[in-house]
Amino acid sequence: MRKSIKIKFSKLFLLVLTTAFVFTSLKAQNDDLVVYDNYNSTVKNHKFRIRDSFSLFMTEFKGDIQVSDDDKVITGISSGGYLKVYKKTFGNKRGLEVREVNGKLRFDYYSGNKKLPFDPEGKEWLSEILPDVIRKTGINAVERANRFYKQGGVNAVLSEINKILYDNVKVLYYKPLLAKTGLSSNDFAQIATSIDKELRYYCKFSGNKKVTNNKIGFL
Protein backbone atom coordinates (compact mmCIF):
# COMPACT_ATOMS: atom_id res chain seq x y z
CA MET A 1 0.00 0.00 0.00
CA ARG A 2 2.83 2.38 0.92
CA LYS A 3 4.61 1.66 -2.35
CA SER A 4 1.43 2.42 -4.31
CA ILE A 5 1.04 5.77 -2.53
CA LYS A 6 4.66 6.67 -3.31
CA ILE A 7 4.23 5.85 -6.98
CA LYS A 8 1.05 7.91 -7.27
CA PHE A 9 2.68 10.83 -5.45
CA SER A 10 5.65 10.69 -7.82
CA LYS A 11 3.33 10.81 -10.84
CA LEU A 12 1.30 13.71 -9.47
CA PHE A 13 4.37 15.68 -8.41
CA LEU A 14 6.07 15.34 -11.76
CA LEU A 15 2.94 16.34 -13.67
CA VAL A 16 2.65 19.49 -11.56
CA LEU A 17 6.35 20.17 -12.07
CA THR A 18 6.30 19.71 -15.83
CA THR A 19 3.17 21.84 -16.22
CA ALA A 20 4.79 24.73 -14.33
CA PHE A 21 8.27 24.23 -15.81
CA VAL A 22 9.38 26.80 -18.40
CA PHE A 23 13.13 26.70 -18.80
CA THR A 24 13.88 30.35 -19.43
CA SER A 25 17.51 30.59 -18.41
CA LEU A 26 19.59 27.78 -17.00
CA LYS A 27 23.33 27.94 -16.35
CA ALA A 28 25.71 25.36 -14.92
CA GLN A 29 29.42 25.86 -14.43
CA ASN A 30 32.51 24.22 -12.95
CA ASP A 31 36.21 24.87 -13.47
CA ASP A 32 36.27 23.62 -17.07
CA LEU A 33 32.68 23.55 -18.28
CA VAL A 34 30.05 26.22 -18.90
CA VAL A 35 26.49 25.39 -20.01
CA TYR A 36 24.00 28.06 -21.00
CA ASP A 37 20.38 27.29 -21.89
CA ASN A 38 17.96 30.10 -22.71
CA TYR A 39 14.44 30.40 -24.07
CA ASN A 40 13.33 33.85 -25.27
CA SER A 41 9.56 34.03 -24.88
CA THR A 42 9.34 37.24 -26.93
CA VAL A 43 10.81 35.94 -30.19
CA LYS A 44 10.13 32.30 -29.20
CA ASN A 45 13.58 30.99 -29.96
CA HIS A 46 15.81 28.71 -27.92
CA LYS A 47 19.58 29.06 -27.52
CA PHE A 48 21.93 26.50 -26.08
CA ARG A 49 25.69 26.83 -25.59
CA ILE A 50 28.25 24.55 -23.97
CA ARG A 51 31.92 25.45 -23.67
CA ASP A 52 34.98 23.84 -22.14
CA SER A 53 38.73 24.33 -22.44
CA PHE A 54 38.93 22.69 -25.85
CA SER A 55 35.59 23.09 -27.60
CA LEU A 56 32.53 25.24 -28.15
CA PHE A 57 29.09 23.96 -29.14
CA MET A 58 26.18 26.28 -29.90
CA THR A 59 22.71 25.76 -31.23
CA GLU A 60 19.70 27.99 -31.75
CA PHE A 61 16.28 26.99 -32.99
CA LYS A 62 12.77 28.31 -33.46
CA GLY A 63 9.53 26.49 -34.23
CA ASP A 64 8.66 22.82 -34.32
CA ILE A 65 11.41 20.65 -35.78
CA GLN A 66 10.67 17.13 -37.00
CA VAL A 67 13.34 14.46 -37.34
CA SER A 68 13.58 11.02 -38.92
CA ASP A 69 13.13 7.85 -36.87
CA ASP A 70 16.91 7.34 -36.78
CA ASP A 71 17.43 10.95 -35.56
CA LYS A 72 19.86 11.69 -38.37
CA VAL A 73 17.76 13.77 -40.77
CA ILE A 74 15.62 16.88 -40.32
CA THR A 75 12.38 16.11 -42.11
CA GLY A 76 10.40 19.27 -41.41
CA ILE A 77 10.33 22.67 -39.70
CA SER A 78 7.24 24.75 -38.98
CA SER A 79 6.66 27.97 -40.91
CA GLY A 80 9.29 30.60 -40.10
CA GLY A 81 11.33 28.13 -38.09
CA TYR A 82 15.03 27.35 -38.23
CA LEU A 83 17.88 25.42 -36.66
CA LYS A 84 21.44 26.71 -36.35
CA VAL A 85 24.32 24.54 -35.15
CA TYR A 86 27.94 25.59 -34.64
CA LYS A 87 30.84 23.54 -33.30
CA LYS A 88 34.48 24.44 -32.78
CA THR A 89 37.01 21.84 -31.65
CA PHE A 90 40.78 22.41 -31.56
CA GLY A 91 40.43 25.21 -34.09
CA ASN A 92 38.21 23.27 -36.49
CA LYS A 93 34.98 25.19 -37.09
CA ARG A 94 31.81 23.89 -38.70
CA GLY A 95 28.32 25.30 -38.84
CA LEU A 96 24.94 24.48 -40.30
CA GLU A 97 21.72 26.43 -40.75
CA VAL A 98 18.42 24.84 -41.75
CA ARG A 99 15.45 27.08 -42.50
CA GLU A 100 11.89 26.68 -43.66
CA VAL A 101 11.49 28.81 -46.77
CA ASN A 102 8.18 28.78 -48.63
CA GLY A 103 7.35 25.31 -47.40
CA LYS A 104 10.76 23.82 -48.22
CA LEU A 105 13.93 23.23 -46.21
CA ARG A 106 17.06 25.17 -47.09
CA PHE A 107 20.37 23.79 -45.83
CA ASP A 108 23.45 26.05 -45.56
CA TYR A 109 26.71 24.42 -44.49
CA TYR A 110 29.97 26.11 -43.44
CA SER A 111 33.42 24.68 -42.81
CA GLY A 112 36.02 27.10 -41.48
CA ASN A 113 35.11 30.42 -43.02
CA LYS A 114 33.76 28.94 -46.24
CA LYS A 115 30.26 28.08 -47.32
CA LEU A 116 30.24 24.65 -48.93
CA PRO A 117 27.59 22.49 -50.63
CA PHE A 118 25.43 20.73 -48.06
CA ASP A 119 25.69 17.40 -49.86
CA PRO A 120 27.70 15.31 -49.12
CA GLU A 121 29.89 16.73 -46.33
CA GLY A 122 27.27 18.83 -44.58
CA LYS A 123 24.68 16.08 -44.82
CA GLU A 124 27.08 13.61 -43.24
CA TRP A 125 28.00 16.03 -40.45
CA LEU A 126 24.35 16.70 -39.66
CA SER A 127 23.66 12.97 -39.37
CA GLU A 128 26.56 12.67 -36.92
CA ILE A 129 25.71 15.66 -34.73
CA LEU A 130 21.89 15.71 -34.78
CA PRO A 131 21.34 13.00 -32.12
CA ASP A 132 23.53 14.99 -29.74
CA VAL A 133 21.70 18.23 -30.59
CA ILE A 134 18.35 16.56 -29.92
CA ARG A 135 19.41 15.22 -26.52
CA LYS A 136 20.92 18.51 -25.40
CA THR A 137 18.05 20.78 -26.45
CA GLY A 138 14.84 18.73 -26.21
CA ILE A 139 14.02 19.13 -29.90
CA ASN A 140 11.17 16.80 -30.93
CA ALA A 141 11.01 15.41 -27.38
CA VAL A 142 7.31 14.53 -27.23
CA GLU A 143 7.33 12.85 -30.63
CA ARG A 144 10.48 10.93 -29.75
CA ALA A 145 9.06 9.80 -26.41
CA ASN A 146 5.94 8.53 -28.18
CA ARG A 147 8.06 6.80 -30.82
CA PHE A 148 10.22 5.00 -28.26
CA TYR A 149 7.14 3.98 -26.30
CA LYS A 150 5.58 2.52 -29.43
CA GLN A 151 8.78 0.62 -30.19
CA GLY A 152 9.58 -0.75 -26.75
CA GLY A 153 7.21 0.54 -24.10
CA VAL A 154 8.30 2.16 -20.84
CA ASN A 155 11.75 0.58 -20.89
CA ALA A 156 12.59 2.13 -24.26
CA VAL A 157 11.66 5.64 -23.10
CA LEU A 158 13.57 5.28 -19.83
CA SER A 159 16.59 4.00 -21.72
CA GLU A 160 16.56 7.14 -23.88
CA ILE A 161 16.15 9.38 -20.82
CA ASN A 162 19.26 7.75 -19.37
CA LYS A 163 21.24 9.01 -22.38
CA ILE A 164 20.20 12.62 -21.77
CA LEU A 165 22.39 14.82 -19.59
CA TYR A 166 20.12 17.66 -18.54
CA ASP A 167 17.15 17.50 -16.17
CA ASN A 168 15.07 20.10 -18.02
CA VAL A 169 15.23 17.93 -21.15
CA LYS A 170 14.57 14.68 -19.28
CA VAL A 171 11.36 16.17 -17.90
CA LEU A 172 10.11 16.68 -21.46
CA TYR A 173 10.20 12.88 -21.90
CA TYR A 174 8.70 11.95 -18.53
CA LYS A 175 5.58 14.05 -19.07
CA PRO A 176 4.24 12.27 -22.22
CA LEU A 177 5.27 8.93 -20.74
CA LEU A 178 3.21 9.52 -17.58
CA ALA A 179 0.29 10.66 -19.71
CA LYS A 180 0.04 7.23 -21.37
CA THR A 181 -3.12 5.29 -20.59
CA GLY A 182 -2.94 1.68 -19.48
CA LEU A 183 0.31 1.92 -17.52
CA SER A 184 0.60 -0.89 -14.98
CA SER A 185 1.72 -0.69 -11.37
CA ASN A 186 5.04 -2.15 -12.47
CA ASP A 187 5.35 0.58 -15.13
CA PHE A 188 4.80 3.29 -12.53
CA ALA A 189 7.33 1.63 -10.23
CA GLN A 190 9.93 1.67 -13.02
CA ILE A 191 9.20 5.31 -13.81
CA ALA A 192 9.39 6.29 -10.14
CA THR A 193 12.75 4.55 -9.79
CA SER A 194 13.99 6.30 -12.92
CA ILE A 195 12.84 9.71 -11.63
CA ASP A 196 14.68 9.17 -8.38
CA LYS A 197 17.84 8.20 -10.27
CA GLU A 198 17.77 10.65 -13.16
CA LEU A 199 16.40 13.92 -11.77
CA ARG A 200 18.56 15.60 -9.19
CA TYR A 201 17.85 19.30 -9.67
CA TYR A 202 15.15 21.41 -11.22
CA CYS A 203 14.63 25.08 -11.94
CA LYS A 204 11.18 26.64 -11.94
CA PHE A 205 10.78 30.13 -13.34
CA SER A 206 8.13 32.81 -13.50
CA GLY A 207 8.72 34.98 -16.55
CA ASN A 208 12.39 35.92 -16.50
CA LYS A 209 12.69 35.75 -12.71
CA LYS A 210 14.36 32.73 -11.19
CA VAL A 211 12.16 31.42 -8.39
CA THR A 212 13.93 28.37 -7.04
CA ASN A 213 16.74 25.93 -7.72
CA ASN A 214 16.58 23.05 -5.26
CA LYS A 215 17.56 19.45 -5.02
CA ILE A 216 14.53 17.19 -5.14
CA GLY A 217 13.79 13.79 -3.65
CA PHE A 218 10.77 12.62 -5.62
CA LEU A 219 10.09 9.53 -3.56
* pLDDT for residue 94: 95
* pLDDT for residue 23: 40
- When computed from its CA atoms, the radius of gyration of the chain, rounded to whole angstroms, is 19
- Tell whether 17 and 86 lie within a shared domain: no
What predicted TM-score, i.e. pTM, was given to this entire model? 0.76
- Tell whether 109 and 201 lie within a shared domain: no
- Tell whether 16 and 101 lie within a shared domain: no
- Tell whether 181 and 129 lie within a shared domain: no
- Tell whether 45 and 129 lie within a shared domain: yes
192 falls in which pLDDT band (50, 70, 90)? very high
- Tell whether 41 and 93 lie within a shared domain: yes
* pLDDT for residue 40: 65
Which of 80, 107, 137 delimits the end of a domain? 137
Q: What digits encode the pLDDT tens for the residues 32-84? A: 556 667 766 665 688 888 887 788 999 999 999 999 999 999 999 999 899 99
210 falls in which pLDDT band (50, 70, 90)? very low
- Tell whether 36 and 121 lie within a shared domain: yes
- Tell whether 12 and 31 lie within a shared domain: no
Q: What digits encode the pLDDT tens for the residues 116-166? A: 999 999 999 999 999 999 999 999 999 999 999 999 999 999 999 999 988
31 falls in which pLDDT band (50, 70, 90)? very low
Instruction: Name 79's Cβ contacts closer than 8 Å, sequence gap at least 6.
Output: 63, 100, 103
Contact 24, 45 (CB under 8 A): no
Question: How far is 85 from 79, CA to CA, in rounded Å?
Answer: 19
User: What is the percent of the chain where pLDDT is above 90?
Assistant: 56
Range from 108-117, 179-188, 209-218 carrying the lowest mean pLDDT: 209-218
| Average model confidence (pLDDT) across the chain | 79
Number of domains composing the chain: 2
91 falls in which pLDDT band (50, 70, 90)? confident
* pLDDT for residue 113: 86
* pLDDT for residue 200: 73
- Tell whether 95 and 169 lie within a shared domain: no
| DSSP assignment of the chain | -HHHHHHHHHHHHHHHHHHH----EEEEE-SS-EEEEEEETTTTEEEEEEE-SSEEEEEEEES-EEE-TTS-SEEEE-TT-EEEEEEEETTEEEEEEEEEETTEEEEEEEETTEEE-IIIIIHHHHHHHHHHHHHHH-TTHHHHHHHHHHHHHHHHHHHHHHT---HHHHHHHHHHHHT-TT--HHHHHHHHHHHHHH--EEEEEETTEEEEEEE----
- Tell whether 29 and 126 lie within a shared domain: yes
- Tell whether 44 and 110 lie within a shared domain: yes
- Tell whether 131 and 32 lie within a shared domain: yes
Using alpha carbons only, give the angle 164, 205, 191 rounded to the nearest 5 degrees: 40
The range of the structural domain enclosing residue 40 comes to 25-137
